[in-house]
Structure 1
Amino acid sequence: MAGLGTSKGPLYVGFDLGTTNSAASVFDGHEVKVVRNSAGGALTPSVVRIDGKGRTTIGQRALRFADKDPANTHREFKRLMGTAQTLAFPDAGVSKSPQELGAMVLGALRKDIEDVIGVLPERAVISVPALFELPQSSATSEAAKLAGFEQVELLQEPIASALAAGWSDNDPGAWLVYDLGGGTFDVSLLETRDGLLRVVAHDGDNFLGGRDFDRALMAWALDQIDARGQTIDRSKDAGELGRLRLAAEQAKIELSRANEVELLLDEPLVLGGQEYEVDLQLDRNILDQVCMPLVDRTLTVCERLLRSQGMRPDQLSRVVLVGGPSVMPMVRHKVAESLATDIAEGFDPMTLVAQGASLYAATAGLDGRPAASKPKSDPDAAKLWCQFPPVTADINPHVVGKVEGGAVAIASIQLDRVDSSGTATWHSPVAEVDAEGAFVLDTELVPHKVNRFLIAAKDEAGKAVATDPAEITVVHGVTIGDPPLSRSIGVA
């Protein structure tokens, strides 16, 4: 990621704060990158553990204790955002709110960006489910503030997904974003027209996700043990059942690539003082049968959404799948079959939301770099007023401006488009400044990129004159229509 976040250009940061896993992405105006954590992974488990000595672990390290020490290890707290519920860590004698735990995960992702890029971001975009109401959204903003961010904007997850999937495609049409996450299911109908991307409607279930698939598979495993004549008391020993659920989750993931796996526990399952060996053969057919009712529930929501808009599935131009469970072959097949629409290919469903969030940060002009790392303006520079579209589907938008002050009169202005290294790649025609100080500049944008233009002004003698601003940025891509949840937070 060399070059990202340097003083030569902006750094746009996006986060997917997920129920099960979270991810961070950065965009420098030219390339989107998913930031890997200290363990080398693109995903950070949304898990927090606080031990008896008050030590906090987050992510993959905390996940290792989910079955060994469930009382002091918490996950899926995103489902509780916006509620008054707190989660106890009894060994440490403390309780934390869901937003405090969310802040810990965001803080870990923020630190990953600093470790990889060398910049600790202060501004970012964070995605939230489409069905989040004001309390959940406000709790997410609070989590960001606790994590040390000066300013954040919230963006609905389907908008983020569609923006990432459609950044380089301005073709008109209706989209369906099918987002099956770890704890929630969202489906959104979007429309692209004349370079404008907007959410038409959305539906979903805040309590249906990949964890429900894991629980269904765990219940199947317990049924197999019952079938041996070994009756199990399923109401006790949450820690042991947690071990089985993790094994079920791992088997589910492996079946996305293999046709048959073992659902195996190295040590016997101990429930109600009784030991049970768990060594079960599991194939895709069994997995499909167990999970089909849950997939059918998601499709019922999809069909309900389309009916509410008077649409048929064959009117969709594409379906974008998001979330870990959507990787399951059965899910992909059932969605394509039920909606009679091709699945958009070539996208990582696990990181698409984070990538879209970083792209949206660019369209919002939300540079994540600390103020100290940004170039300082010249106090003696000529003051310019410039009007231009910050985001546009037009390749050749105009910049209209006026010189509003300065010690030296400006006679002409030109724009120099520069790449990520600061090298000029295109020069606009020279525009003369009239007697009123007004000027009009032509531009030429690189498609689907953030285009950075340095302002080159000269006086009557042809000598360079410093200006404020010294540069402008124009994003070529789809524009978000009526951006939802564009709420900012600030630290006074």
Structure 2
Amino acid sequence: MHKEPIIGIDLGTTNSCAAIVEDNGNVKLIPYKGGEYTIPSIFAIDDKGNELIGYEAKRQWQLNPRNTVYGSKRLVGRTFGSDVVDTMKKVVAYNMRPGKKNEVTLDVGKKEFTLQEVSAKILGKIREVASNYLKTPIKRAVVTVPAYFNDRQRQSVKDAGKLIDLEVVRIINEPTAAALAYGVGKGLKEKVVIYDLGGGTFDVSIIEIRDRVFEVKSTGGDVFLGGIDFDNAIIHHVLKDFAAKTGIDLATDPVAMQRIKDLAERTKIDLSARDEVPFNIPFITMTSQGQPLNIEMKFTRKMLEQLTNHLVDRTLQMVARVLVDSGLSTKDVDEVMLVGGQTRMPIVQDRLTKFFGKPPSKGVHPDEAVAIGAALYAHSLQDDTNLRIQLLDVIPMAIGLEKAGGAFHVVFPRNAPIPNAKQLLATTSMDNQTELAMRIFQGDHEMVARNDMLGEFTFSGIQQARAGGVQVEITFDVNVEGILSMRARDPATGREMNTTVRVTQS
């Protein structure tokens, strides 16, 4: 009987791709028509109300920017009031507003969508391409997320799978997946740094590989730093230059912005291979007298480096922090792996070479490593596999409770190994109290207000007694995917209490 395949999916901010381990043990990227291996993570609705995903959505983007959603991974699991959403509102043409639970809701083509629904559409497209290619229905996948995703963001990806009946068997971290692509089956004993600068997110992980054991020592990142920000630096410069010459602000014209955005990305890519490129867009707008105006300028690699130097600096500050967290020095690192399209930029490679005292390795393909690693891990989960991989990962930022006065009581510190469980004894603070409520947060700040709220947990059914007379033993459990669950019991009676987890969108 042919087993049902589990595919590996790299659900990216700008592009997504999938891979599978074939019966002969070879890993293969799943091709899309036209020989491409990646699918743009873009969802749109055209004038006729048709849903478009991937290349079809990208092709009509210039003419239909308001109903074309891109970069949505940056918004997944976020509340509408967060800084991230504020920043995104300034750069995207599609409309965002708060939903019932204060989550981000998008208006696309006269319909409303949650971010889970948009992620589900993209996952559905990848699954359809994979099913057609493999000629078998796909029901299960291992999906990757940035290492720096918090509990709520991870949960959102699982929920997106549920919406289309795709079982997300396991969520694994993107840098860890890339390390698998590099190290599986080579019998290595190495400490590697995975520097993953993708379209929308930056992650860095230090991973010790001991043959088939992949142990993450420390991880860090920024889910709001990626190729999009390098593009935005170019866009901002072009808008400023044009306004200085003509007094016209193009930022309010979505079609002009889309043309600039497209050329900015191409210019950035071209400058990785060349020192100078023209930046010309004819008929970008009209003067009030009806004279057509063009954008005509030149971009040099040096200019681009000056505009984006601060972004590269931010990545290196994170690399330094992660090294300190792991207790290793640059000399202890055997290889530095580059993952994500933005690492093709020469200055990124130069700065890393200086930082580590050796050039980064070319051991993995920057666009494909994550999907390949996810497929290898998917294969290792199948019943009849001969590939057993042990992943020892960590949580990216502390998880804890709100203490009196708004201080953060850490239950699991940053970089705590997972799976992991901790127990706390709590007690009642009022006479005859029958419920105990707790607010759980995740983040690296000492005050809970600066961290992300994961949810409110209520334990009911506590026996009535005077204040402090009842103890409740609370177990916090973080599973292999970095997702938290909790249970409570009364040690006196051994009774498990019912818990309700209300993941708030505050």
What's the TM-score, normalizing by structure 2?
A: 0.69
- Contact 1:175–1:316 (CA under 8 A) maintained in structure 2: yes
Residue 480 of structure 1: how far off its partner (Å) = 1.6
Q: Residues 443-468 of structure 1: CA distance to partner in whole angstroms, max 9, x if unpaired?
A: xxxxxxxxxxxxxxxxxxxxxxxxxx
What SS does the aligned partner of 2:69 have?
strand
CA-to-partner distance for each residue in 1:81-106, whole Å, 9 max, x for gaps?
Answer: 113111101xx320111110111111
Distance 1:249 1:86 in 2: 27
Q: Deviations over 1:220-268 (max 9, x none)?
A: 22343345x3233255223322321121001111222333322222432
Which residue in 1 is equivalent to 2:269? 253
- State the shift of 1:17 in Å: 0.5
Aligned twin of 1:15: 9
Alignment equivalent of 2:148, drawn from 131, 134, 154: 131
CA-based RMSD: 2.4
- Residues in 1 aligned to 2:287 and 2:30: alpha-carbon distance in whole angstroms: 41
> Which range is displaced more, 304-313 or 113-122?
304-313
The percent identity for this pair of structures is 35
For residue 3 of structure 1, what is the aligned residue in structure 2? none
Q: After TM superposition, give the deviation of residue 473 of structure 1 in Å.
A: 3.0
CA distance in structure 1 between the aligned counterparts of 2:6 and 2:349, rounded to whole angstroms: 32
Equivalent runs, 1:211-222 vs 2, <5 Å: 211-222=228-239
Check whether the contact 2:6–2:139 (CA below 8 A) recurs between aligned residues.
no
Rounded Cα–Cα distance in structure 1 between residues aligned with 2:185 and 2:220: 26
Residues 184 and 211 in structure 2, CA contact (< 8 A), matched pair in contact too: no
TM-score, length of structure 1 as denominator length:
0.71
Maintained 8 Å contact 2:282/2:293: no
Picking from 344, 368, 371, the partner of 1:327 is 344
Structure showing greater radius of gyration is: 1
Question: What SS does the corresponding residue of 1:473 show, helix, strand or coil?
Answer: coil
Aligned-residue offset at 1:216: 0.3
CA contact (8 A) 2:239 2:249 kept: no
Q: Pick 1 or 2: higher relative contact order, CA cutoff 8 A, min separation 6.
A: 1
Q: Which residue of 1 aligns with 2:333?
A: 316
Give the alignment partner of residue 479 of structure 1, picking from 380, 390, 407. 390
Q: Does the 8 Å contact 2:185/2:211 carry over to 1?
A: no
Query: 1:55-110 deviations in whole A, cap 9, x for unaligned?
Result: 10001110122222111111111111113111101xx3201111101111111111
Distance 1:275 1:306 in 2: 54
Cα 1:151–1:140 shift into 2, 3 Å: closer
Q: Which of 209, 221, 224 lines up with 1:192 in the alignment?
A: 209
The one-letter amino acid of 2:169's match is V
Aligned residues of 2:143 and 2:168 also touching (Cα < 8 A): no
Among 214, 218, 242, the alignment partner of 1:225 is: 242
Say whether residues 1:176 and 2:193 are aligned partners: yes
Q: What amino acid sits opposite 1:74 in the alignment? A: V
Q: For the structure 1 residues 52 and 226, does the alpha-carbon distance in structure 2 shift closer, same or farther, using more than 3 Å as the test?
A: closer
| Stretch deviating more after TM superposition (192-201 or 118-127) | 192-201
> Which amino acid is 1:185 matched to?
F
Instruction: Extract unaligned runs of 5+ from structure 2.
Output: 79-102, 394-417, 420-478, 484-506
CA distance in 2, matches of 1:158, 1:138: 19
Question: Who is 1:267 aligned against?
Answer: 283
- Contact 2:179–2:373 (Cα < 8 Å) also in 1: yes
Once the 2 structures are TM-superposed, how far is the Cα of residue 283 of structure 1 from its aligned partner? 2.6
**In structure 1, what is the Cα distance between the partners aligned to 2:286 and 2:74?**
29
d(CA) in 1 for partners of 2:249, 2:29 = 44
Q: 1:168 to 1:267 in 2, by over 3 A?
A: farther
**CA 1:171–1:270 in 2, change beyond 3 Å: closer, same or farther?**
farther
Indicate yes or no: 2:166 matched with 1:149: yes
Q: Where does the alignment leave 5 or more consecutive residues of structure 1 unmatched?
A: 1-6, 367-471
Shift of 1:151: 4.5
Distance change in 2, residues 1:235/1:266 (3 Å): closer
The answer on 1:105 being equivalent to 2:122 is yes
* Distance change >3 Å, CA 313–CA 65, structure 1 → 2: same
Equivalent position amino acid for 1:124 in 2: A
Task: Report deviation, 1:282.
Answer: 2.0
Match of 2:71 in 1: 76
Please give the secondary structure, in 2, of the residue aligned with 1:475. coil
- SS of alignment partner, residue 304 of structure 2: helix
Cα contact 2:349–2:359 (8 A) shared by 1:
no
1:345 alignment counterpart: 362
Counterpart of 1:85?
A: 104
Distance in 2 of aligned mates of 1:243 and 1:274: 19
Residue 415 of structure 1: aligned partner: none
Go from structure 1 to structure 2 and tell me whether the alpha carbon gap of 1:293 and 1:26 turns closer, same or farther (over 3 Å shift): same
CA deviation after TM superposition for structure 1 residue 10, in Å: 6.2
Q: Which amino acid aligns with 1:80?
A: L
Equivalent AA in structure 1 for residue 296 of structure 2: D
Give the one of 37, 44, 48 matched to 2:39: 44
- 2:380 aligned residue (363, 368, 389): 363
Q: List per-residue Cα deviations over 1:129-167 (Å, max 9, x = no partner).
A: 111112111110111122331352111111101000111
- Counterpart CA distance in 2 for 1:38 and 1:488 is 35
Secondary structure of the structure 2 residue equivalent to 1:22? strand
Whether contact under 8 Å (1:12, 1:28) holds in the other structure is no
- The verdict on how the C-alpha distance between 1:150 and 1:49 changes in structure 2, with shifts beyond 3 A counting, is same
CA contact (8 A) 1:47 1:59 kept: yes
Shift of 1:310: 2.9
Aligned residue among 216, 238, 244 for 2:260: 244
Question: Structure 2 vs 1, CA of residues 309 and 204 (structure 1 numbering), >3 Å: closer, same or farther?
Answer: same
Partner deviation per Cα, 1:390-429 (whole Å, 9 max, x = no partner): xxxxxxxxxxxxxxxxxxxxxxxxxxxxxxxxxxxxxxxx
Which amino acid in 2 is paired with 1:296?
D
Preserved CA contact (<8 Å) 1:103 1:147? yes
Which residue is 1:34 aligned to? Answer: 29
Q: How many residue pairs were aligned?
A: 374
- The alpha carbon displacement at 1:34 in A equals 0.9
Q: Tell me if 1:62 matches 2:57.
A: yes
